Structure 1
Amino acid sequence: MVETAHYTYDFGGGWLCLDFNNTLDQDKEGGDVEHLHTYADLVEWAAQSGMISPGKARLLTREAETHPSQAATTLADAIALRRLIYRVFSAVADGHEPESADSSALNAALGASVVWLRIVRAPSDNDNDDSAFEWGWADGGSRLDQILWPIVWSAAQLLVSERLHQVRECGSENCRWIFMDTSRNHSRRWCSMESCGNRAKQRRHYHRIKASDLDTN
């Protein structure tokens, strides 16, 4: 994929932490294509996900410009969290337990995040409905790391979810995207049929043609 100033992120993973994992792309040769070059990119991803409001995005962008060193540290923490999420859920997709060190690292990140977790009133279209509550977050003000809290919480929620068995890793050898397989017979192989699935189909066709040419000769 080609980088642009306003990159449109993919949110087809089916779970927030998996969508975050999928901000690291791969080209046809298996080389990494990074979409989070700056803290501003991280803010843009969070805004596109609906995780933060446009106003919060502007606030965090200004704060990052004022404190570039802190912004760089938070971006590095985000990349480390993304690697951790990949290791944990790649293991799950393969039917294995995550490494104990990775479980410990995720628990440490969770401990630092949940202190900001709150029970809040759920939005409702019914003015008479005053009984609905949901998980929410305390206002992190201008803290640059607040973007990471919901991602960590999302990973923890998925690990204890009854839907954990749906976690899959793309079947392409050049892709590390992870997604929730919600297909009827749980047979989805590719992150996207339009990209990895189509390339695999083209490779199979190429090898069939080559094999046919060899048989003919």
Structure 2
Amino acid sequence: MGDEQPVPAAVRLVRDFVNTYEPQVDEESLATPDALRDWFVERGVLPVGVRLGPADLAAARTVREGLRAVLLGHAGHPADPDALRRLDEALAAAPVRMTFADGGPRLLPSVRGPLDVALATLVDAIRQCAQDQVWTRLKVCDRDTCRWAYYDASRNQARRWCSMAGCGNYVKMRRAYAVRRDRRSRAPDTAPDR
């Protein structure tokens, strides 16, 4: 479900992290601590050979689903307050510090555990999105069975679906069918009596 325009690197990291779980088909990319490690290694966030455990996996999934709730809010829907609370708690446990070195400001982990590094990188990507004024352009699909994260590059930021060809057409066709069905149910019976 690709975006039509280039997506900023910070947005891409957050979007792709949220999309490690696809609700529509119940597909979990982060099924094990090793899968979580590999995901971060492939993106240059963690070095090869680090070890993550079950608690790290649980914390990362909590952050991911909390971010999905935030992006749901960006799309104009009520966000799950429990998911937001759990996100806040998980991020409070990830100590970060600000640096101005190397072109800062940016956030770095104040503790060097692998998950601390990974979460600090995600938090810094969110900071970068906010600084670049693109944070609210990161949304999740309006189709309630999808909830795939996407970057809304439209001029008026009114995009509602991860893909117009997929979810957008599906939702529009369902609405059109419902309107036609409603009209038929309200139309007087014009069939001749026999």
TM-score bin, normalised by smaller chain = 0.5 to 0.7
Distance 2:174 2:82 in 1: 38
Q: Which one of 166, 186, 189 corresponds to residue 160 of structure 2?
A: 189
Q: Is the 8 A contact 2:66 2:83 kept in 1?
A: no
Over the matched positions of the two proteins, sequence identity in percent amounts to 26
Distance 1:167 1:98, change over 3 A: farther
Secondary structure of the corresponding residue to residue 67 of structure 2: helix
Distance 1:199 1:47, change over 3 A: farther
- TM-score, scaled to structure 2: 0.65
The Cα shift of 1:112 comes to: 2.8
Considering only aligned residues, what root-mean-square deviation do their CA atoms show, in Å? 4.1
Distance 2:152 2:107 in 1: 27
Distance 2:83 2:173 in 1: 39
What's the counterpart of residue 73 of structure 2?
A: 91
Q: Which one of 13, 18, 28 corresponds to residue 16 of structure 1?
A: 13
Q: Is the 8 A contact 1:110 1:152 kept in 2?
A: no
Distance 1:96 1:201, change over 3 A: closer
Q: Is the 8 A contact 2:21 2:27 kept in 1?
A: yes
Distance 1:102 1:90 in 2: 11
Offset from partner CA, 1:108-142 (integer Å, 9 cap, x none): 61573313x53332xxxxxxxxxx45636469766
The Cα shift of 1:185 comes to: 3.5
Distance 2:79 2:175 in 1: 33
The residue type paired with residue 154 of structure 2 is S
What's the counterpart of residue 119 of structure 1?
A: 100
**2:29 corresponds to 1:35:** yes
The Cα shift of 1:170 comes to: 0.8
Secondary structure of the corresponding residue to residue 101 of structure 2: strand
Distance 1:159 1:100 in 2: 23
The Cα shift of 1:157 comes to: 4.8
Matched length:
176
Distance 1:151 1:119 in 2: 18
Distance 1:107 1:37, change over 3 A: closer
What's the counterpart of residue 3 of structure 2?
A: none
Secondary structure of the corresponding residue to residue 112 of structure 1: coil
Unaligned runs of 5+ in 1: 1-10, 65-70, 122-131
- TM-score, scaled to structure 1: 0.59
Secondary structure of the corresponding residue to residue 156 of structure 2: coil
